[in-house]
């Protein structure tokens, strides 16, 4: 369908339009942007103030495009159990923003928080795994398989999905369970976990005198003994007691449920029961018995080393599905490592649904030049620096169609407002003559981000972006027009692009292209991007995982030791290729760098 033939509210796919969006003019789909709908709106404001807590070196920005077309469309059935940070599970549909759960980082389990929660309706598939694990998910949901993040519709029989294994069903709080728990606790209030004491007091108020020793009683007994005498040492559940009857009862109950264990004697007549079978069995014990002191078993720091084979994938029709955004970009769904999109909640700022809408709806502020010009004419405007390209690239592919940037550039220049542009998009070549002309009126800063020269590595870590050679040619064209053009060497990837030889070659190529400055920035692993990169690194370069743990620890920024090493390595190379510190710097969109701050935050665009 042609662009000009489409209107909001017209005939066709109803999902093409979102009539509740303020200022909507029309919604457009085109074969050249498969799967994406562009919502053309008349915006009321285009000039945005940067939040006061931000460390960016500018206060104002302009983003003519909002939304993302990277197809992160992941959803699961609402009853899917999710692993909470206290070791328990909760249905995906019942999770709340702010709850602490488990995700992964660099191949290890870590605690993270839910930062967004939504639901949608779409076709679903049932995935059956070895051992009885089942998951219902959308076809575009991704799980961490042995070969990396894999869409449900791309899974085949025999693929192995990483995780802990299926979660066991929680116990029912029957009279038998309550009686068993009290017997395990010794039918008394003792010093210990507050939850265990509260549960004991509650059960004692209405406890059966002679409970039947059925499965519910056994589960309660195991939970009570664990709360009273158990713990977790080196990731393993263990119980220690000098009472032979308690140890005998505990081991008999373990055998009944098929748990394997080791029994050993310790000092002073104490006997120690240690559960075997690794993390999967530890979680099975925890979920089967439901102790109050579940926090004693912590997964934090444990390696993601289990997997289950795919036995079948079959469609089950359209279902209501749910998903979340977490700080790590993933979570544990019925024992399997499941992906999510780290940026979905940002789309809710536009009153969009953060589920399906975020994936396929891009807002285009078609009146951005006119609105910006009006805002810049206000008497209150102080002609402060405006940065573009710090959130969404103003020269993304759609700019070739909408051509909003020429009007934005003229509005800024006409008001006497200095501005800068950071981009990876070679579409900017179109506007070089205009940028050259307005540079006579206002200060214009241009920066191109180039992280590496290796084309194969670039395709792997920056898919869908112009090649390094194309970006170097863009720098050359900007310089040939007489404009200053800096390059952000970002992100520098430890162990992959940070060797003296690699940096020397890249900085040399940047110098040959005529760049007026070059600024190295180490990789910043913000939550969400951190998870994606960690899994990619573990799959493609597992030998580097220990080094990254050492450099980044549990944070987002490279440690001081690595930053000093990078400075010592890059500094002489920059000077050798003519990038001296005595050269006046053109103002580029970048973060403030207080004396006490960590490595400057890598721009969102990078």
What is the rounded average pLDDT of the residues 100-124? 86
pLDDT tens digit sequence for 268-298: 889 999 999 888 898 999 999 999 877 677 8
Nearest to 147 by CA among 457, 536, 548, 533: 536
Q: Are 162 and 180 in contact (CB under 8 A)?
A: no
Given a cut of 70, whether residue 218 has pLDDT beyond it is: yes
Looking at residue 170, the DSSP 8-state letter turns out to be P
What is the rounded average pLDDT of the residues 581-601? 39
Dihedral (CA of 167, 173, 175, 181) sign? positive
For the chain, how long is the longest CA-to-CA vector? Answer: 93
Given a cut of 80, whether residue 119 has pLDDT beyond it is: no
Given a cut of 50, whether residue 593 has pLDDT beyond it is: no
Nearest to 89 by CA among 381, 288, 258: 288
What pLDDT score was predicted for residue 248? 94
CA distance 333 to 382: 51
Higher-confidence residue of 504 and 267: namely: 504
Strand intervals (E) in 366-485: 386-388, 419-423, 444-449
Given a cut of 80, whether residue 76 has pLDDT beyond it is: yes
What is the rounded average pLDDT of the residues 338-367? 60
Nearest to 606 by CA among 462, 504, 463: 462
Given a cut of 60, whether residue 222 has pLDDT beyond it is: yes
pLDDT tens digit sequence for 299-342: 888 889 889 999 999 999 988 888 888 878 789 999 999 987 54
Given a cut of 60, whether residue 596 has pLDDT beyond it is: no
Which of 1-5, 169-173, 394-398 is the least confident region?
1-5
- Domain positions in the chain are 76-164+302-340, 175-296
What pLDDT score was predicted for residue 26? 87
pLDDT tens digit sequence for 65-74: 876 443 334 5
pLDDT tens digit sequence for 403-422: 999 999 999 999 999 999 99
What pLDDT score was predicted for residue 341? 52
Average pLDDT of the chain is 82
What pLDDT score was predicted for residue 117? 80
Given a cut of 70, whether residue 345 has pLDDT beyond it is: no
Q: What is the CATH code of the structural domain delimited by 76-164+302-340?
A: 2.170.16.10
At 391 the three-state DSSP class reads coil
Higher-confidence residue of 300 and 349: namely: 300
Contacts of 552 (CB under 8 A, 6+ apart): 525, 558, 559
What pLDDT score was predicted for residue 72? 39
0.75 surpassed by pTM: no
Contacts of 92-98 spanning 24+ positions with Cβ under 8 A: 92/322, 92/323, 92/324, 92/333, 93/119, 93/322, 95/324
Given a cut of 90, whether residue 482 has pLDDT beyond it is: yes
CA distance 518 to 502: 15
The three-point CA angle 575-601-591 to 5° equals: 75
What pLDDT score was predicted for residue 52? 56
Nearest to 326 by CA among 339, 313, 309: 339
Q: What is the CATH code of the structural domain delimited by 175-296?
A: 3.10.28.10
Contacts of 236 (CB under 8 A, 6+ apart): 274, 275, 276, 282
pLDDT tens digit sequence for 174-208: 989 999 998 898 866 555 566 777 788 777 777 65
Looking at residue 266, the DSSP 8-state letter turns out to be -
Contacts of 70 (CB under 8 A, 6+ apart): none
CA dihedral 594, 595, 596, 601 (to 10 degrees): 40
Higher-confidence residue of 116 and 208: namely: 116
Q: Which helix or strand (DSSP H or E) is residue 194 part of? A: helix 194-204
What pLDDT score was predicted for residue 464? 59
Which of 32-41, 176-185, 439-448 is the least confident region?
32-41
What is the rounded average pLDDT of the residues 156-171? 92
Which of 147-156, 431-440, 486-495 is the least confident region?
147-156
What is the rounded average pLDDT of the residues 567-573? 94
């Amino acid at each position: 369908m042609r662009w000009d033939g489409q209107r909001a509210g017209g005939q066709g796919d109803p999902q093409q339009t979102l009539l509740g969006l303020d200022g909507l003019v029309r919604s457009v789909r085109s074969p050249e942007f498969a799967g994406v709908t562009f919502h053309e709106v008349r915006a009321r404001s285009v000039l945005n103030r940067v939040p006061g807590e931000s460390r960016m070196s500018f206060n104002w920005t302009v983003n003519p495009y909002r939304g993302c077309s990277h197809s992160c469309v992941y959803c699961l059935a609402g009853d899917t159990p999710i692993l909470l940070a206290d070791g328990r599970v909760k249905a995906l549909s019942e999770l709340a923003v702010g709850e602490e759960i488990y995700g992964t980082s660099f191949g290890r389990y870590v605690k993270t928080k839910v930062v967004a929660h939504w639901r949608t309706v779409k076709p679903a598939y049932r995935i059956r795994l070895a051992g009885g694990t089942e998951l219902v998910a959308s076809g575009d949901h991704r799980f961490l398989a042995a070969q990396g993040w894999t869409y449900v519709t791309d899974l085949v029989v025999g693929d192995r999905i990483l995780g802990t294994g299926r979660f066991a069903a929680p116990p029912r709080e029957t009279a038998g369970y309550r009686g068993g728990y009290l017997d395990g606790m010794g039918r008394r209030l003792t010093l210990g976990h507050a939850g265990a004491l509260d549960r004991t007091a509650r059960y004692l108020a209405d406890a059966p005198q002679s409970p039947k020793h059925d499965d519910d009683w056994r589960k309660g007994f195991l939970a009570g003994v664990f709360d009273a005498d158990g713990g977790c040492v080196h990731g393993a559940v263990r119980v220690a007691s000098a009472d032979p009857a308690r140890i005998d009862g505990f081991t008999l109950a373990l055998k009944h449920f098929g748990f394997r264990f080791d029994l050993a004697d310790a000092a002073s007549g104490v006997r120690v029961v240690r559960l075997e079978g690794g993390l999967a069995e530890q979680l099975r014990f925890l979920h089967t018995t439901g102790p109050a002191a579940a926090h004693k078993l912590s997964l934090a720091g444990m390696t993601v080393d289990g997997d289950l084979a795919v036995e079948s994938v079959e469609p089950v029709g359209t279902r209501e599905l749910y998903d979340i955004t977490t700080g790590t970009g993933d979570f544990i769904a019925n024992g399997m490592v499941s992906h999510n999109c780290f940026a979905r909640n940002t789309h809710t700022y536009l009153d969009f649904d953060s589920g399906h809408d975020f994936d396929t709806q891009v807002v285009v502020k078609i009146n951005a030049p006119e609105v910006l010009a009006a805002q810049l004419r206000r008497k209150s405007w102080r002609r402060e620096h405006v940065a573009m390209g710090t959130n969404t690239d103003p020269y993304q592919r759609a700019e070739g169609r909408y051509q909003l940037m020429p009007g934005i550039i003229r509005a800024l220049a006409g008001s006497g407002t200095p501005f800068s542009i950071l981009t990876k998009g070679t579409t900017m070549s179109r506007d070089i003559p205009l940028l050259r002309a307005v540079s006579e009126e206002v200060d214009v800063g241009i920066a191109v981000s180039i992280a590496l020269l290796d084309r194969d590595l670039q395709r792997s870590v920056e898919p869908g972006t112009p090649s390094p050679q194309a970006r170097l040619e863009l720098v050359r064209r900007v310089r040939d027009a007489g404009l200053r053009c800096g390059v952000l060497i970002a992100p520098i990837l430890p162990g992959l692009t940070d060797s003296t030889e690699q940096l020397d070659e890249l900085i040399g190529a940047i110098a040959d292209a005529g760049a007026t400055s070059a600024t190295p920035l180490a990789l910043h692993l913000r939550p969400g991007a951190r998870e994606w990169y960690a899994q990619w690194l573990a799959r493609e370069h597992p030998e580097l995982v220990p080094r990254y743990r050492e450099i980044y620890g549990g944070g987002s920024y490279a440690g001081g030791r690595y930053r000093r090493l990078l400075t010592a390595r890059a500094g002489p190379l920059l000077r050798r290729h003519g990038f001296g510190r005595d050269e006046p710097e053109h103002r580029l969109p970048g973060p403030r760098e207080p004396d006490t701050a960590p490595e400057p935050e890598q721009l969102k665009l990078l």
